[in-house]
Structure 1
Amino acid sequence: MERGHSEPAAEHIHDQVKEYYGKILKQSSDLKSNACVPSAKPIPDYIRKALTEVHPDVTAKFYGCGLAVPECVEGCRMLDLGCGSGRDCYVLSQMVGKSGHVTGLDMTEDQLAVARKYLDYHMEKFGYKKPNVDFVQGYIEALREAGLEENSYDVIISNCVVNLSPDKESVLREAYHVLKEGGELYFSDVYSNAPISESLRANKVLWGECLSGALWWEDLVRLAEEVGFCKPRLVTASVISVGNEDLEKLLADYKFVSATYRLFKSPKSSEKERCLVMYDGNITGLEEKFEFDAQYTFKVNEVMEVDGDVANILKNSRFAEEFTFQTRAQSSTKSGSCSAKPKVMPESPFGLAEQLGSASVASSTGLCCGPQESCCK
């Protein structure tokens, strides 16, 4: 739980979110704000193609912000927190392939009914004789109670759902427990520029629209590290325009962004030593360059100097086989050697959004929203 705030009772919040996403919202056009915005980064062609393969009824009932489709997931076991109608699950089904598996978890029966209705449709379309997707009803704050095993997932994603939870710390802690060592939580969500007042947190429309339940971005960084994750890596961010005059008046003192972070579960004993790395260019769809986060873009066969945190992540995650590593001591023996440097980027998602030119305000698109666990689900 964020310090300095008492969230509304968990059971009450869960019930009102279920009602909002299961009964009140019928499709993304029913949203009352622009909280669901597309990614500030261009969508890679291979992901865009995968999105077009998803049944229109599933896409129509999906609500998300940004794009929660990480790279290098062939053969991985993946979990989607607040999967809603299953759009991201069916996109990832194509990414992980026959040897991988995707589990979607959601608390809203109406959303899961849509996701399950089209399971056979998608498996036939993708050419899979055996389904590589399944859906589980449960709460994102209690993954193990839902039957998900500890240390069992390579990657967890979430798309605009954490803000809907009454207990963000439990969401992060449960994700940490069910991730394998070296695993990643890759998620898009809505963040505020300051802690939201308790009176606004009690507004069920603002909560359902993914606004009043949004974490102050500094709280996200603190909570993630307290739970055990490496320092969060900021991938991208987009300014959110509320787009509703009545809601804007209520939220006059606050600003919001949609931001994507990657959180890694690295071994506690691993060393964090700055080193030189070279991307081998073998990640599907990213044969020329790999944009790891806002700071680091790895170009194939280009030597890049990385800090200790990033070196630790790359060496102990699924990306280890995609890079050639060299210690600084080894590199210093090569006279005249040089390396590319990371970009200097703001730590704040608000600063990044402004730097990326997102201040022009993004608006929702068909590639973004559709229901998931709640507002953004």
Structure 2
Amino acid sequence: MTELKKQHGECGKGCINDTTIHVDVKNYYGRTLKKTSDLKSKACVTTSQPIPAFIRQALAKVHPEVTARYYGCGTVVPECLEGCRLLDLGCGSGRDCYMLSQLVGEEGHVTGIDMTEDQLAVARKFLDHHMQEFGYRKPNVSFVQGYIEALTEAGLKENSFDIIISNCVVNLSPDKRRVLSEAYRVLKDGGELYFSDVYSSSRLSDEIKNNKVLWGECLGGALWWEDLVQLAQEVGFTLPRLVTANIVTVDNKELETIIGDYTFVSATYRLFKIPDVSNNGCMVIYNGNITGFEECLDFDAWYTFKVHEIVDVDEEVASILTHSRFADEFTFQPPGTHAECNVQKSKVGTVNPFELVLQLDSTSASFGTRGCCGAQPQSSCSK
């Protein structure tokens, strides 16, 4: 796994070299997989879940050839996107980039980075098509060939992005710490890493990690979820906020035999680059001005903000909301401003995706089918 394949080392600038894993992943996604049906498991397939109408409409405008080369384990569409600069780690054929380019608008910008030439060729092929389809006078999407472990080497500037997304890609990297560190570096203060990925119930054996098919199928490189929490905080992010979680069904007897007793989930987390988490808790009122979330905002698995409802949030959530792009979307008031009977109490939720799935199973809820205002722990939102 540590063998190096020199591909970019001639420049003398310390560029990252291809590890054996990088080469194997490039071959798997560039040559072995030509369409979604070529996958050998269900790990890299988005779970079925209700998608808001405005996102469905954006996806419907993405060219079918781009969509056919899409592989992902979740829907990575954070809220409050208008005018934002957004980066997609491991953008592949560009499906999420083109969908999100409509949501950030012509004044926003989406950059996709991927190391696989074949995938980027598909993405770039339809750039003009999509800009014409969206009615934009100038492109608001660009694609960069490079490694998610070396964003600055790929020409992406520090402190330059409002949001970073990633859809089932971090698990494919041999150096997750470096991925998170680079993401932290290029995010602006107050920026967010909002990403879906596959996680394991415990640290994986070498047999599983060394299996090329399992790695390519997003299982062999899956992090133990506790390692994600530790790595995220070590590089400077806030404690990860768990948004969604679904059990991964492999549905391949040969691969299931190799996996044995390990279990996997696909989960979405949001990590924030917040310079100061020393805020006291406070009362917040959601103003209802975010497109697509006018009635309520499911911030994570534990906090649902219903328009004009008073919510008591802890100091971490208060810091996130006041130091991020969400600051203008809420009214902030000191604790104790309102009568206790009118206040939704702050919640302490798990960051363990397996625990969340069990909790939802125990209440006959399916987290994979939750949309805004849908079933979730202690949600006060209803349709």
What is the TM-score with the length of structure 1 in the denominator? 0.90
Counterpart pick for 2:309 among 292, 298, 302: 302
1:340 aligned residue:
344
2:10 aligned residue:
none
Counterpart pick for 1:151 among 134, 152, 159: 159
8 Å Cα contact 1:76-1:154 kept in structure 2: yes
Counterpart pick for 1:135 among 104, 118, 143: 143
1:108 aligned residue:
116
8 Å Cα contact 1:8-1:202 kept in structure 2: no
1:82 aligned residue:
90
User: Structure 2 regions of 5+ residues with no counterpart?
Assistant: 5-17, 370-383
- Please show how residues 45-84 of structure 1 align to structure 2 within 5 Å: 45-84=53-92
Counterpart pick for 2:208 among 200, 206, 214: 200
User: Structure 1 regions of 5+ residues with no counterpart?
Assistant: 1-5, 364-377
Counterpart pick for 1:214 among 206, 219, 222: 222
8 Å Cα contact 2:2-2:19 kept in structure 1: no
Residues 245-303 of structure 1, C-alpha deviations (whole Å, 9 max, x = no match) = 00001001200000000000001x44231111000000001000000000000000000
Residues 339-364 of structure 1, C-alpha deviations (whole Å, 9 max, x = no match) = 1125564331012123334998979x
Structure with bigger RCO (C-alpha 8 Å, 6+ apart): 1
Counterpart pick for 1:271 among 278, 287, 295: 278
CA RMSD of aligned residues (A): 1.9
1:370 aligned residue:
none
What is the TM-score with the length of structure 2 in the denominator? 0.89
Counterpart pick for 2:28 among 20, 33, 47: 20
1:165 aligned residue:
173
Instruction: Give the letter for the 2:344 counterpart.
Output: A
The alpha carbon displacement at 1:337 in A equals 5.6
Instruction: Give the letter for the 1:217 counterpart.
Output: W
Counterpart pick for 2:289 among 275, 282, 285: 282
Sequence identity of aligned pairs in percent?
Answer: 65
Specify the SS of the correspondent of 1:312.
helix
Alpha-carbon separation, structure 2, partners of 1:191 and 1:174: 20
8 Å Cα contact 2:93-2:119 kept in structure 1: yes
Alpha-carbon separation, structure 2, partners of 1:335 and 1:86: 49
Does residue 230 (structure 1) correspond to residue 238 (structure 2)? The answer is yes
**Distance change (3 Å), C-alpha of 1:171 and 1:199:** same
Alpha-carbon separation, structure 1, partners of 2:2 and 2:279: 36
8 Å Cα contact 2:244-2:367 kept in structure 1: no
The alpha carbon displacement at 1:185 in A equals 0.3
Specify the SS of the correspondent of 1:34.
coil
Counterpart pick for 2:321 among 314, 325, 347: 314
Alpha-carbon separation, structure 2, partners of 1:20 and 1:278: 47
Instruction: Give the letter for the 1:312 counterpart.
Output: S
Alpha-carbon separation, structure 1, partners of 2:298 and 2:328: 16
Query: Matched residue pairs, number?
Result: 354
Residues 6-28 of structure 1, C-alpha deviations (whole Å, 9 max, x = no match) = 87766110000000000000001
Specify the SS of the correspondent of 1:324.
strand
Alpha-carbon separation, structure 2, partners of 1:49 and 1:262: 24
